[in-house]
Structure 1
Amino acid sequence: MSKGLKSSVLLLAVIGNLAWSLTAKANLNGKLTVEIDGLRNKVGQVCTSIFASSQGFPNNRDRILQRQCTKINDTSLKVTFDNLKAGNYAVAVMHDQNSDLNLNRNDLGMPIEGFGFSRNPEVRTSAPKFSDAAILVAGPNTNIQIQLKYF
């Protein structure tokens, strides 16, 4: 093999490896860890839901991208979601004390179980908009903290 041909083959191999490496990194999905604080008690479970768009956030179960319900062992817990593509997400959390998978409300429509959202937006008379709770997952590990609220 001539010296020029060897150099061309080596150059093609280097370019091929570089292209594969960039493609592999572009397809790398991330992990989101949600630390949930402020639980009033250890009764029931905590359900954490991820939404990928404003459609259905935060109440429509059909629009949930991923959900995990976790039995409570402490007044603080962590939930991890794997394999998320880079992008904006919003997280909704509820302290499901009676384990019925619903955020129970009183006769006035006010939640009687704890709840929270990513970015901990102010909540007064209605749930926040997706844009108020949206977080960016752009690397291999994203960590957020949600403080539960009770009325």
Structure 2
Amino acid sequence: MSDGIDYGKLMHRAMRGLIQEVLTGVQDHGLPGDHHFFITFDTAHPDSELADWLSDRYPGEMTVVMQHWFDGLEVTDEGFGITLNFGDAPERLYIPYDAIKTFVDPSVEFGLRFESQEDETEDEDDDGPEPPDGPDGGKPEPQHRDAEVVSLDRFRR
């Protein structure tokens, strides 16, 4: 037995379970009301699956939006698959929960951030990620940034 309880690891597991439960509801019933999600994930994660042109364009992380148009949402215990529209080019993605850096639903001012040891060494003055371009695409974050606490004011209309 270890010397202590790893609350951080337990919390991350619980937060990923919450994301799975939310996405399962969306898979079964669609997005209710004004709900929509900004999901930032590690494109270099070994289990992430995305088109080569997307991984070339977003080599470290990418933020995708689930809002107006998405198709084929398939939620599993390890992650989820989804087809999103990138400039009129539908692309299939698989995003493992372990690759998710932030999960935000600005319609209800809800957000989760997954910290890593790298995040703890980042500059405190960093403003964090900006919302992606377009309603259902991704926008690269600058290479020197990791996901930060997301200010929900950025996503208000």
What TM-score results when the alignment is normalised by the length of structure 2? Answer: 0.30
Larger Rg: 1
Question: Structure 1 or 2: larger strand share?
Answer: 1
Structure number with higher relative contact order (C-alpha < 8 Å, ≥ 6 residues apart): 1
Question: Structure 1 or 2: larger helix share?
Answer: 2
